[in-house]
Chains A and B, each alone.
Chain A
């Protein structure tokens, strides 16, 4: 049996972005996956931080990610905590090429293809009326 994973279509729960996080979501709406690079020690920071999690410098600058990474771990949800989500969907942590991790859902693949180490790339999808979410799909 094959089950193709898809992005959500209807609105999903999401917080109102604040000053620290708004640039990330603006980037998503423009098809760019952003993260913070430390101007002092060059560490990648994600989710957004006020000060570098490595050296505590406040000199963090937004940078565009290549959007490429590999699956670090994954699950497939068959029963969601809220009926707002269509099942199944596949939460996954991605090791990004720039050295940070992001939580997402893997889409456009069969459940049976999911594995640690699977190469993936970002794919922005509109969810509900006003939210662009970074999903990830396998690289061809």
Chain B
């Protein structure tokens, strides 16, 4: 039975240095640094922690002597939802969410290794992440007439955000024009190199706490709503846009719509109330797809929508304001997903530096994509719902 009146908020966030390769760092060192950084930001000590979610959570609990402690089990922005639920249910008071990746890349030219499928019915035909997302993008291009130029506008917008972000792996590497994106070499048609996420190393953490325990100086950010849509294992089946479950609701091409509808219903707000969209950007097309799936624009109109400048940092729907996985960082399976929530917190606290969206009060953060057959959604606010 949930304890009456308990509410949780995000009390602290931290990104370690991100880099193509972090010499001398190990995954564990980055994890410890991220935990200490986020706890410091929140005004807590390690002794206050009674909940944790990570990747090798059990060994972390043992090595940091955190037990007895609540242990979460999900990933990405869903970790925030799960921790808030645990705190509001009375299972914990101060939960650390942490992930990091170092030492993963000896071949920097390769696709992120965790997404290389060795699956029986996809691997022999040379499938990998870019090809999975390309099958989704191509379907949309042929059905709705989405253009190559529109994909380039998305990638240039996000890469220019990263270029202006001093913390990004590719800080100062822009500016990019749409033509620069299209001029980069083809990887998996329609995607060119600069349509794709980078590979990098780094860590991050968030602290979620019972609001009764908060240090008033910590500038808490509140979780207004969330949702999670899954269609099956990523990268084991070809991602059909039209794949439907037995309830027939929305196809995989619109994965995340059901989640977003739930998140907005929880939050009691409208699409127009969102000030900043920290959308997950594994490939340029995914932004166009999410804008449609989340109902920020009508189906099939995501291409023209991005063409009209809506998604620029100065536009009505600024997206992925740190440079995302294309330019800020794409470390491991988990840090790069959690970093959408961290950027949302930075925006609502006014900590986004040269990329601050003026008066940002509500942020929508997402993970996943139709090529991976899941999408999760988190809506954050500077005030409780």
Contact = CB atoms under 8 A, between A and B. Distances in A.
B123 A77 contact: no
A14 B124 contact: yes
Nearest to B242: A72
A12 B128 CA distance: 13
Nearest to A53: B246
A121 interface: no
Interface stretch (B74-82, B133-141, B323-331): B133-141
A14 B125 CA distance: 9
Of B116, B130, B136, B241, the most chain A CB neighbours within 10 A belong to: B130
B123 A72 contact: no
A105 interface: yes
Q: What class of interface size applies to chain A in its complex with B?
A: 35 or more
Contacts of B238: 91, 93, 101, 103
Contact of A116 (B119, B123, B142, B193): B142
Contacts, number: 105
Contact of B116 (A14, A81, A131): A81
A78 B188 CA distance: 6
Interface of B: 110-111, 116, 118-131, 134-136, 138-139, 142-143, 185-190, 193, 237-238, 240-241, 246
23 contacts: A12-B123, A12-B124, A12-B125, A12-B126, A21-B120, A72-B139, A72-B240, A73-B136, A74-B135, A75-B189, A76-B186, A77-B126, A77-B130, A77-B187, A77-B189, A79-B186, A79-B187, A80-B126, A80-B128, A81-B129, A82-B116, A85-B126, A103-B121
Given A15-B118, A77-B188, A103-B237, 8 more contacts: A14-B120, A78-B185, A79-B185, A81-B129, A103-B125, A103-B238, A104-B125, A116-B142
